[in-house]
Structure 1
Amino acid sequence: MTELDNIDRAILRLIAADASLSLNDIADKVGLTATPCWKRIKRMEESGIIRARIAVLDADKLGLPVSVFVSVETADHSAEWLGNFARTIATTPEIVGAWRMSGDVDYLLHVIVPDIAAYDAFYRKLIAAVPLRNVSSRFAMERMKEGPLPI
């Protein structure tokens, strides 16, 4: 793990809150000039701490108001099955997040769709793509918090 000092952490908090900040704005806010600030950002990008700078879009305003958390259990843990499942996740745009879990669920998927019919189509496509033992869906009623990492 790369060692981070207080200035690195301040830079990360700023970028996480607003990736559109200019280099000069970031440097001013952390008390550096542009060149050493840029070098720190570049180091954190190269080490993988900063994986991407993205815009957070409003799913509701884009016509994608249904957020579903899908628990997946499988009886097959072979390399072949995992490869097929990983490819399915990577090529299915409705899946915006996926985690391998411990406990009674093997995988947790975050799926975003425009409506219940679209979720049903997604579900049918998922179970046709890879054999699954159990799929359980939980529909989010309200997004209460979404934010940057606690740096």
Structure 2
Amino acid sequence: MLDDLDRRILRHLQADPEQSLPDLGDRLGLTASRLSRRLEKLREGGVILGQRAVIDWRALGYEVEVSLRITLDKTNSRAFDEFIPAAREIPEVLEIQTFLGQVDVRLSVIARDMAHYQGIYRSQILTLPHITDIEALMHVARIKSDEALPI
């Protein structure tokens, strides 16, 4: 279980993940060594999964994002097991989600432009195994994208 101090640490990390340990310790009233022990405990407990760089793919020349809702052939017991690894191999697929219901999988795909997307779609997406239906949704705007949790 998390105590109040753990929650305070997590709130401060979410607000400013690049702050140094001494600065974070000062804000929390902790020594850097005590803070390090707490952070290690949170990592070992699986609360903090790691740190990562968030890169704006638009800054790298990608302008198009498409969400593909895919229905798989559910009569084939290996459909998911064969589709998911194949989809992971496509570099422009940023996210893969699975669902229960009419739609089985959602892929988030980026491309430099529509011609690039069309090439990815024809040469890589359509060759994925066990697809019975695809619906493409062109992203227009991202209204909210927040990974911060209400701690």
Give the gaps of 5 or more residues in structure 2: none
- CA distance in 2 between partners of 1:116 and 1:100 (Å): 26
Runs of 5+ consecutive residues of structure 1 not aligned to the other structure? none
1:135 alignment counterpart: 134
SS at structure 1 position matched to 2:36 = helix
Contact 2:87 2:128 in 1 (8 A): no
Aligned residues: CA RMSD: 2.0
SS of alignment partner, residue 133 of structure 1: strand
Rg larger for:
2
CA contact (8 A) 1:17 1:148 kept: no
Determine the C-alpha separation between the residues in 1 that align with 2:52 and 2:89. Answer: 20
Tell me, in whole angstroms, the C-alpha distance in 2 between the residues paired with 1:78 and 1:25: 55
Secondary structure at the residue paired with 1:129? coil
Correspondence list, 1:2-151, <5 A: 3-76=1-74, 78=76, 80-124=78-122, 125-151=124-150
Q: Is the 8 A contact 2:98 2:105 kept in 1?
A: yes
Percent of matched pairs sharing the same residue: 30
Q: How many residues align?
A: 149
Asked whether the equivalents of residues 72 and 107 of structure 1 are also in contact (C-alpha less than 8 Å), the reply is yes
Would the alpha carbon gap of residues 82 and 150 (structure 1) be closer, same or farther in structure 2, given more than 3 Å must change? same
Q: Is the 8 A contact 1:24 1:34 kept in 2?
A: yes
Q: Deviations over 1:71-113 (max 9, x none)?
A: 1111236553322222123222211111111332111122222
Distance 2:42 2:136 in 1: 37
Amino acid at match of 1:145: K
Length-normalised TM-score, structure 1: 0.85
The Cα shift of 1:53 comes to 0.7
Q: Which amino acid aligns with 1:140?
A: H
The one-character-per-residue Cα deviations of 1:43-85 (angstroms, maximum 9, x if unpaired) are: 2222322222112222221111212111111123655332222
Report if the CA contact (8 A) 2:96-2:108 is conserved. Answer: yes
2: distance between equivalents of 1:17 and 1:89?
34
